[in-house]
């Protein structure tokens, strides 16, 4: 009960075991303990969306989740989407449509969009904009991000 | 910032959770979705000595229709409430209101019961639990009790819940078939807390409104029902004139706060406009459902 807690968690398909302080945020755990620095920390109170990861297949704010809570869970981060040499489909769409400038918010957007493409219809422009409304970008003005998502949703077709 | 230190206990059962809370000398906190609690802990506005995680307790994630009531367990996430077919069918006003709760990612984690316990006066879920005559099922080592939503909300972010108590489920009314409803909200950005919002349900019998409920949020220290306005409408036909009378009465009855986002006068005006719109929508919807 007191002191550190041992957790085992799968990140992008690989299993990791670490002992953590109960107050360690999942965002800090991913960055400082495991070195997945693709997960960015912006506001640290759930507003900006930069730290969004997938927790058991659904998007979640890693700054509002404790590492202690994810023992046994499966996490996906931006590092799991692709690599510099071999961009994932969502990453490629961002590149094609200039969906980023400074790139700070981008990992959060990519993870949110991955969840939305898996689970939400994204049939209308309004739905696409609502799906993105929990992530803040201060560079792009969002238009190019919406263009990328529109293409991805069209390519995916109707949700199965 | 980062949370202050605390002990973490993963509760294996409701009994284990309340036993741990009881042992925390009033300084324990329950975490479910954590979408309101974690920001406050990150800011160190809340510094519990013991955090009791109920996420692994089996059986708390159910939505159940029980006669004329719908029960939502302590681990029912906003996404589950928003996507549940029974709720969409029997409480369409709640189904619709869920679209306004924060953002999809927050809805993946945040819970119905947790939002009620957080008791933000500008949040949708507490107001909907009040509108739907919610009863809050509470357990502690001292026993069980049930509070009405009206008795539960005490002030802004304040409830009647004692530090050793856990909310296990909330029951709300299902609406009779043919009930008209409307939900209107204005926020400066989608997903933000509302500057004001109103939810209405009413039935329409022999050309007049009955069983009218009006719930408001963002215009006081707690979400609120408006019994005096509900009584004005009961047994009346909804006309342009009735709407004007109700909206005038509403604007004199409420005392909203002024803050960074809106003045009290603006909120008062907005609440009236949203209510006029919602009443007319609910009235027309009740008619359409009859035909």
Residue B2, domain member (yes or no): no
CB contact, 8 Å: B188 with chain A?
A: no
- Tell me the pTM: 0.96
CATH of domain A89-156: 1.10.150.120
Q: Are residues B71 and B47 in the same domain?
A: no
ipTM value greater than 0.90: yes
CB contact, 8 Å: B108 with chain A?
A: yes
Q: Are residues B48 and B78 in the same domain?
A: no
Residue B58, domain member (yes or no): no
The pLDDT of residue A47: 95
**If you measure CA to CA, which chain A residue comes closest to B20?**
A1
A38 pLDDT higher than 70: yes
Average pLDDT over residues A100-116: 98
Residue, of B171 and B290, whose pLDDT is higher: B171
**Band of pLDDT at residue B289, cut at 50, 70 and 90:** confident
Q: Are residues B234 and B150 in the same domain?
A: no
CB contact, 8 Å: A28 with chain B?
A: yes
- Picking from B147, B173, B199, the residue at the C-terminal end of a domain is B173
A1 pLDDT higher than 60: no
Q: Are residues B158 and B189 in the same domain?
A: no
Q: What is the CATH number of the domain that holds B274?
A: 3.30.390.50
Q: Which chain B positions have a beta carbon within 8 Å of A65's beta carbon?
A: 34, 38, 109
**A55-76 residue pLDDT tens:** 999 999 999 999 999 999 999 9
Q: What is the CATH number of the domain that holds B116?
A: 3.30.465.10
**If you measure CA to CA, which chain A residue comes closest to B48?**
A23
CA distance A51 to chain B (A): 11
Mean pLDDT of chain A: 96
A2 pLDDT higher than 80: no
**Residue ranges making up the domain that contains B39:** 7-53
Q: Are residues B82 and B114 in the same domain?
A: yes
The pLDDT of residue B277: 98
Q: Where are the domains of chain A?
A: 5-80, 89-156
**B251-288 residue pLDDT tens:** 999 999 999 889 999 999 999 999 999 999 999 999 88
CA distance A35 to chain B (A): 19
Number of domains in chain B: 3
Whether CATH 3.40.30.10 fits A5-80: no
Q: DSSP characters for A77-124? A: -GGGT--SSS--HHHHHHHHTT--SS-SSHHHHHHHHHHHHHH----S
Q: Are residues B107 and B189 in the same domain?
A: no
């Amino acid at each position: 009960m007191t002191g550190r807690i041992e957790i085992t968690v799968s990140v992008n398909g690989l299993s990791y075991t670490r002992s953590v302080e109960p107050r360690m945020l999942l965002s800090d755990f991913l960055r400082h303990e495991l070195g997945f620095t693709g997960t960015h920390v912006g506001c640290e109170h759930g507003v900006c969306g930069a730290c969004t990861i997938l927790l058991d297949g659904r998007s979640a704010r890693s700054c509002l989740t404790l590492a202690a809570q994810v023992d046994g869970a499966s996490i996906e981060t931006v590092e799991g989407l692709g690599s510099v040499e071999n961009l994932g489909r969502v990453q490629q769409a961002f590149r094609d449509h200039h969906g980023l400038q400074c790139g700070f918010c981008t990992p959060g957007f990519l993870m949110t969009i991955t969840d939305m493409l898996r689970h939400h219809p994204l049939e209308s422009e309004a739905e696409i904009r609502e799906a993105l409304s929990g992530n803040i970008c201060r560079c792009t003005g969002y238009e190019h991000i919406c263009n990328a998502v529109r293409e991805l949703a069209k390519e995916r077709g109707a949700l199965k | 910032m980062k949370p202050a230190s605390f002990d973490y206990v993963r509760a294996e059962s409701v009994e284990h959770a309340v036993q741990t809370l009881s042992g925390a000398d009033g300084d324990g906190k329950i975490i479910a979705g954590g979408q309101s609690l974690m920001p406050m802990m990150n800011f160190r506005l809340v510094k519990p000595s013991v955090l009791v995680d109920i996420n692994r307790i089996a059986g708390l994630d159910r939505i159940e229709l029980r006669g004329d009531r719908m029960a939502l367990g302590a681990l029912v996430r906003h996404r589950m409430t928003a996507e549940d077919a029974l709720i969409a069918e029997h409480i369409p006003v709640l189904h619709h209101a869920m679209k306004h709760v924060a953002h999809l990612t927050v809805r993946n984690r945040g819970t119905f019961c947790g939002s009620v316990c957080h008791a933000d006066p500008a949040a949708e879920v507490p107001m909907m639990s009040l509108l739907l005559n919610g009863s809050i099922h509470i357990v502690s080592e001292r026993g069980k009790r049930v509070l009405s939503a009206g008795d539960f909300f005490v002030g802004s972010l304040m409830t009647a819940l004692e530090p050793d108590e856990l909310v296990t489920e909330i029951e709300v009314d299902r609406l009779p078939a043919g009930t008209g409803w409307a939900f209107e909200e204005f926020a400066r950005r989608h997903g933000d807390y509302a500057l004001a919002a109103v939810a209405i349900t009413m039935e329409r019998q022999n050309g007049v409104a009955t069983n009218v409920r009006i719930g408001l949020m963002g215009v006081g220290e707690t979400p609120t029902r408006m019994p005096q306005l509900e009584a004005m409408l009961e047994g009346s036909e909804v006309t342009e004139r009735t709407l004007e009378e109700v909206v005038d009465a509403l604007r004199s009855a409420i005392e909203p706060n002024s803050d960074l986002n809106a003045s009290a006068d603006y909120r008062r005006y907005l609440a009236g406009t949203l209510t006029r719109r919602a009443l007319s929508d609910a009235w027309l919807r009740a008619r359409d459902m009859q035909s």
